[in-house]
Structure 1
C-alpha cells in the first residue's frame, strides 16, 4: 500500500499541572561548518569573490555579520565579509553531531546557485541514525538571484557584483530553512546534498535542535515561535490582530504515549502592556516530536514592547508561560516603501481557501492555437518570432487565415456573445473553488475592463463592447459572495509603442512588423492613445482602477519588469483596510510579494512561505488551444491529487480554464471541474482551511483542533490502509472514510510496534469513492 500524501489536523498542548511554570527557550546547537568552507560569497573593499563560478558575488556591505538571529536560531556568520571563504558548496560532505542524540529539527542559512533565473532545485540531505537507517530531508533551494520574479529571501541585497566591477541589478538573497527530523532514533550525522546537474547549494551556517532529555512522564513543551502578523479578523466588530503561536513537544517520538502527549483542551492567550486576548488559540493534542500552530486574536499590541504567551488547561488554570516575545502593532496604514510593505502577508481567507480558478480569456481565444508545449495566449508574439516557415505558428496562421490578416483583426471575432457571468460563477462554485482570478489584460495589451483615457484597447470599445470584468465581478458579488475575486494583470505589453523605452527580452515594446511583409508593414496597435509614459499613465492607473473601482482581492501580476508597485501596493492595501477587507499581491508585481507562483510546477517538500502553483486544465496552455485533444485535459483524479499534493506542502492551487472567444467554458473542461467538485463536496474538510505543519507526520494540520485527515491516492487493498509513519493517534480515537453517500462508520484501527497505522476498511466502502480516499480521524479527548 502506497500513501501518496497526508493531510492532517490541528494538534494541541500542555500538561496536567495546575502550577504555572516558565517554559524553556527553544534549544539549538550550531554545527561547526567552517572546516568545510570552500567558497567566498562576498566582495568587500576591493576583495573579489567568485560565488557562482562565473565571477559574480554578493556585495558584503549588505550582509549581516556575527551572530544572526532568525526564527529562534542564532546562526554564525563571518565577523567580516570579504576576507576569505565563508560558505561551503555541498557535495556529499558529512557533518558529525557532537554526540549521538535525538534531534527535533535541522536549520540552515543557504543560497542556491544556478545560472537559470528563479530556479528552485530539490536538494536531499540524508539524516544518518545510529542503527544505520536514514531519512531524506528535502530542501527546495531558491536561487540566489531572481528576476523578474521576486523571491522571499531572509537576507536581501539589491544587486550582485560582477567580475568586471559592474553591478547586476537583480535582487540577491540568502535564505533560511528549518526541517523536522525523525526523533524515533538517535541521529549521528548529516550527509550534505551532492551537486545537482550544475545547480549548487551553498551553506553559510547549520544548526540542530535536540529533543528533550527529560525523564519525566509528561510533555516537554516550548514556544517555538510567536509571530505578530499583519493579518486580522473581526471579533464582535473589532479588528483583531492574528498572532501565530507555534508550540513544540520536544520529547523524542521514541517515548510516544498517552502520558507524554497532550490530550485535552488547552488554550493559548497573549498578555502584555495594552494587549487583550479576544479569541484564544485552541489546542487539543500534541504528541512527542510534534509541533502545533494556532492563531491567537488580540488587540492593543505596541511595537517595541514584549509579550507573554500563556497556556491554560481546560479548567482555566495557567500551566505554562513564556515571556519576552517582541510584539508588533497591527498595521493600520501602509506607506510606499519596502520596509512598510514587507510587513504585509497573505490574508487568512487566502490561506484557508486553497483552491482557485484562473481564467485566460481574450483576443487570443479566437485563433485558440499553439504548437505542442506552447501557450496559445502567446499567439501574437509567436506569430512574429521568427517571421518565417521555421515557426509553426507563422505556418498555421498563413495556412488558416492568409497573409493579409493580422492579430488585431481578431478583435472583432472576440465577441463574448455567449458569455454568461452567472453560469461561470456557478461553475466555479460547484467545482469547489473558493476564489477566481480573471485575466484582465494579457501581454497583447487588450483589456477586459474600462481603461478610461489611458487607452481604448479594451472590450469596452472594441469586440464585445462590454465591460466583461465588471459583469463577472458584479455577478459574483451578488450571486456567489463566498467566492473571492482576483485579477491578473500583465505589467508589460509586447508591442505597445509606449513600452519600447522599457522593453526587454520577449517584451520589447514598439509596434510589431507584419510577419508576412504585406501592407501595412508596421502593424497598428488598435485603440492606442497618446500618453507621456507607459508606467505612470497606463500601468499604474490600470492597477489602481482594478484595486479601487473593482475592489480586487488578489493582484496577480505577470512578468514584472519596470513598475510602480510600491506606490500601487500602498494604495491597494490602504483602500482594502479602509473598506474592511484583506487583499494580497503575488511575486510577479516586481516588489514586496506576499506569495510565490511556480508555474506548471510543484515542490517536493513542505514550504514555510506562502505559495500558489498555477496550471492550465490543458497540459501546456492557459488560453484555449484547439490543437489539444479533450482527453488530454486534467480529469477529476489529476485535479484532486494535484490539489491535495499542493495543499499538503502548504500551497494553494490555481487551476486555469480557457473559454472560447464567445465566452463558453467548453464541456470537457467544465465536466472535469465538476467531477473534482463532487469529491470536494464530501471530502473538502481535508483540503480547505488547512495549514501545513511541516512536522513529524509530514502532514497538514486541519483548522478543527479535534480531528485530522489522511488522504490516500491509491485505493486501499486487501481490506487495509497501511501508513508507514507514526501519526498523532491515541487509543479511543475514531477513524472514518469520507464517502459520497454520507456514511461515516467507525473503522477498526491499530498500530504496530514501530507506530505504523493499520486501518481496516471494506472493499465495498472503498469502491464508493473516486479520485482519492480521505480518512478522517477524530480525537477522543480526556476531560
Structure 2
C-alpha cells in the first residue's frame, strides 16, 4: 500500500478488520465504526505491559516454571505466602507510565497460575484471599490511569493450570479429554466466563489482552460468545488477537516482524530484559537506545509497542526499568509530533531507516539511528520539499536534489546534510514538509 493511499482506505480497513475474524463472526461493519473503535489504538503507539504476581516472590518464570517442571506446582503456589504488595504505589506507577509517553497500560489480572489480582467471587485463588497483600490491586491502578487519561488494558489468561476443572493441570495429574467429560469442561467454562464478567463489570477495560488460547479451539473456548459478552458490556472495547481468531489486532511477541504485517492494526509485545515477570538473576537489560530504535521500527511499520515491566513482589519497580521508561519518555516528549497520531512510513527502499507520515501524508518524518551526520538520502520522492527541520529543535536544514533530468519523469535523489550539532542523544528525527500528499516513484528508472 502506497503512503499516499493510507488516508483513503477506510473501506479497505473494514475488510482487513473482518479478515481477522472467522467467517461465522464476520458482520457488515461500517468503515466509520471501525475507524472510531480502533482510532485511539492506532494513534496510541506505545503501551506499558505490567506482569505482576506471586512469581515475583522467588523470581521464577510466571506460571511456566511449574508447567515446565522447573519447580513443583505446590512449591510455586507457596509463593502466595510471601506476596505482600507492601510497597505498591499505583499513583507512582501511573506517573511513570505517563512519563514514558504511553497512552495505554495492560496489567496481568490473572496469569496461567490462576491467582487473581482482584477480589474474585469465584471459588479460586486471589491475592485478596490467599496472600498477605489482602487487597484489590487493580481498582487503584486503573483509577490512577484514568486520572492521567491513559487507557485501561486487562491481560487475562484463558487457561488456568491451577483450576480443578481445567484439563491440563501441570501437564499430567488432572489431564482429561473434553469429549470424555464435557460436563467438567462446562464447569470450567462457567467459572472462566464468570471471572471475565467480573473484570468487565468492575474494571471496564478499554482493551482485553487474552493469552493462552493455543490449548483449545475457538469452539471449545466459545470465543464467539466471549467476544459478544465483552462487547455487550462495552461496545468500544478492543480485543487482541489471542482469542482463536476473534480479536481485532495481531500481537507478535518478542521478535520483530521483518516485513510490515498485512493487518491494519498490530502490536509488538516485548520485555525490557529477557523475562516478563521480575527475575533478579536476569540482568540482560535493554538499553534506552535499543528500546527507542525498536519502538521507532514498530511505529514506522504502522504498529504499536507494548513494553513490559515486571515489578518486585512488594510492588517496587526495579531501577533499571524506571531508567528505561524515563529515557524513553524524554525522547518521546521531544519527538512527539513524529510518533503519536502518525501513519506508518515509507515503503522499504526509499529511506534507510524508520519513517512516519502525518495523517494527511503531507509531512514525512525521517528517523536517524546511530547519531548520523553527513548526508542522508531519500529516493523516489516526486514532491517538492517546502522545508526540512529537526524535530524538537526547529533547526532548519538544506537539501540538494541529485540526478534529476529535466525531460524524465523519474525524480532525483534528495540529499540532506545533517550537521553534528543537531544530534539527539538516541535518535534524531527530521520533519520534511511537502507540497502535498507524499507521492513516490516506484519504477525501474530510465524513461519509466
DSSP-derived class of the 1:438 partner: strand
DSSP-derived class of the 1:603 partner: coil
Q: Deviations over 1:400-433 (max 9, x none)?
A: xxxx972222102111111111000110010111
2:258 maps to 604
Q: Does 1:414 align with 2:51?
A: no
1:737 maps to 390
Q: Distance in 2 between matches of 1:377 and 1:670?
A: 25
Q: Please state which structure has a larger fraction of its residues in strand.
A: 1
2:130 maps to 462
Pick the aligned partner of 2:116 from 427, 447, 464.
Answer: 447
DSSP-derived class of the 1:436 partner: strand
The residue correspondences of 1:329-728 to structure 2 (distance < 5 A) are 338-340=25-27, 347-369=38-60, 375-382=61-68, 385=69, 393-394=70-71, 406-452=75-121, 454-463=122-131, 464-477=133-146, 479-481=147-149, 483-500=150-167, 503=168, 510=174, 533-560=186-213, 561=216, 562-577=220-235, 582-609=236-263, 610-618=265-273, 620-629=274-283, 632-692=284-344, 695=347, 697=350, 699-703=355-359, 705-717=361-373, 720-727=374-381
Extract unaligned runs of 5+ from structure 2: 176-183, 405-411, 438-448
2:409 maps to none
Q: CA deviation at 1:775?
A: 0.6
Q: Distance in 1 between matches of 2:364 and 2:282?
A: 39
Q: Distance in 2 between matches of 1:549 and 1:509?
A: 34
Extract unaligned runs of 5+ from structure 1: 1-178, 181-289, 298-306, 308-324, 370-374, 386-392, 398-403, 512-530
- TM-score by structure 2 length? 0.81
1:304 maps to none
Q: CA deviation at 1:695?
A: 4.2
Question: CA RMSD for the aligned pairs?
Answer: 3.1
Q: CA deviation at 1:598?
A: 1.1
Q: Deviations over 1:592-613 (max 9, x none)?
A: 2211111111111222302111
Distance 1:532 1:557, change over 3 A: closer
Q: Distance in 2 between matches of 1:564 and 1:628?
A: 38
Does the aligned pair in 2 maintain the 1:689–1:703 contact within 8 Å?
Answer: yes
DSSP-derived class of the 1:588 partner: coil
2:441 maps to none
Q: CA deviation at 1:729?
A: 4.1
Q: Deviations over 1:565-586 (max 9, x none)?
A: 2112112223323xxxx22111
DSSP-derived class of the 2:203 partner: coil
Q: Deviations over 1:454-474 (max 9, x none)?
A: 224112212111111111112
Q: CA deviation at 1:444?
A: 0.5
Q: Deviations over 1:257-297 (max 9, x none)?
A: xxxxxxxxxxxxxxxxxxxxxxxxxxxxxxxxx63322699
Structure with more contact order per residue of length (Cα contacts < 8 Å, sep ≥ 6):
2
Q: Please state which structure has a larger fraction of its residues in helix.
A: 2
DSSP-derived class of the 2:189 partner: helix
Q: Distance in 1 between matches of 2:144 and 2:369?
A: 36
Distance 1:484 1:765, change over 3 A: same
Q: CA deviation at 1:376?
A: 4.9
Q: Report how many aligned residue pairs link the two structures.
A: 401
